[in-house]
Amino acid sequence: LLYKDYQADDQISITFGSIPGPGFTISSSESKKDELFPADVKAQLKNKKNTTYIKCSTTITLVPWMKSILSFTVPDQKSGKVEHQFLHDYVGISTSAGLTENPIVNLSGVVGTKGLSLGTDVSLDTTLRTFSKFNVGLSFTDDGVVTSYNLNNKGDTLSTSYYRSLGRVNDTAFGLDATRTFSTNEHTFTIGTKHQLDEVATVKARVNNVGKATSLLQYEWHPNSVFTLSGEVDTKALNKGVKFGWAVKMMG
């Protein structure tokens, strides 16, 4: 609601089943065989000044509630990672480790019910033998209202978010996000709203504590094919004018 799809520059994202030529962002669709071995291959091809990379991953479903994933990026030799996921009705756990001599080991998990959930996200640097990341979160959900509290950056940052659906017919919603960093005594907040005009058009708007107001119009002319036009203005420096951005996402 507050951050997705907003942007102040141009972006084109195209997905095809095969590569049409250089200069495009290419992403293959996920393929599945008997629901047991889903896999995907993603490649971003750019010309001249830009970098080319290929990302590959494969997933093995051991049982319906457990998966193992192997991924790597070419030509980055240190990007290899193996991940194990466990998902059941009231608990989800994911563990991963880099395929290096001294890997970063990650553990994330959540437990809860339909209305309450508690989760954590931890990373251990095996070289330094210290926690490089430690986050915890608590979330409440009740009749279209979601409230969450997150303690991040090893306890240095406290974030609170609130989401409320105002109408079931046109999908109108309101949300806010507030953060305090204890080490710098810094406070930030963002509030915003969303309204679905009809089946294909949606408008969103937000404003933050530094006075930047942003709005967007999103038009979905085909399933998963979206055109987004957004604009941003600094209310504390109106002489700078309005900054515009657009994005096109096409699925082929």
The model carries a pTM of: 0.69
Residue 134: per-residue pLDDT: 93
More confident residue, 23 or 162: 162
- The model's pLDDT over 53-68, given as tens digits with 9 standing for 90+, comes to 556 666 666 667 777 7
Indicate if 207 and 108 belong to the same structural domain.
Answer: no
**What's the number of domains the chain is made of?**
2
Per residue in 143-171, pLDDT (tens digit) is: 889 999 999 999 999 999 999 998 765 68
In the Cβ-directed half-sphere of 129, how many Cα atoms lie within 13 Å? 0
In a shared domain, residues 179 and 193: yes
- Binning pLDDT at 50, 70 and 90, where does residue 178 land? very high
Q: Is the pLDDT of residue 34 over 50?
A: no
Hey, what long-range contacts does 21-26 have (CB within 8 A, 24 or more apart)? 22/46, 22/47, 23/47
User: Percent of the chain at pLDDT above 90?
Assistant: 42
pLDDT, position 68: 75
| Residue scoring higher pLDDT (249 or 54) | 249
Domain span at 91: 40-141
- In-domain check, residue 221: yes
User: Does 93 lie in the same domain as 61?
Assistant: yes
Using one digit for the tens of pLDDT, what is the confidence trace for 43-101?
A: 554 444 544 455 666 666 666 777 777 666 655 556 678 888 888 889 999 998 887 87
Whether residue 245 sits in one domain with residue 147: yes
Q: Are residues 167 and 123 in the same domain?
A: no
* Higher local confidence (pLDDT), 118 or 59: 118
What single DSSP character describes residue 209? T
pLDDT at site 121: 95
Got the DSSP string for 108-171?
A: EEEEE-SSEEEEEEEEEETTTTEEEEEEEEEEEEETTEEEEEEEETTTTEEEEEEEEEEETTTT
> Do both 93 and 9 map to the same domain?
no
11: domain CATH number?
Answer: 2.40.160.10
156 against 7, higher pLDDT? 156
Q: What is the mean pLDDT of the chain?
A: 79
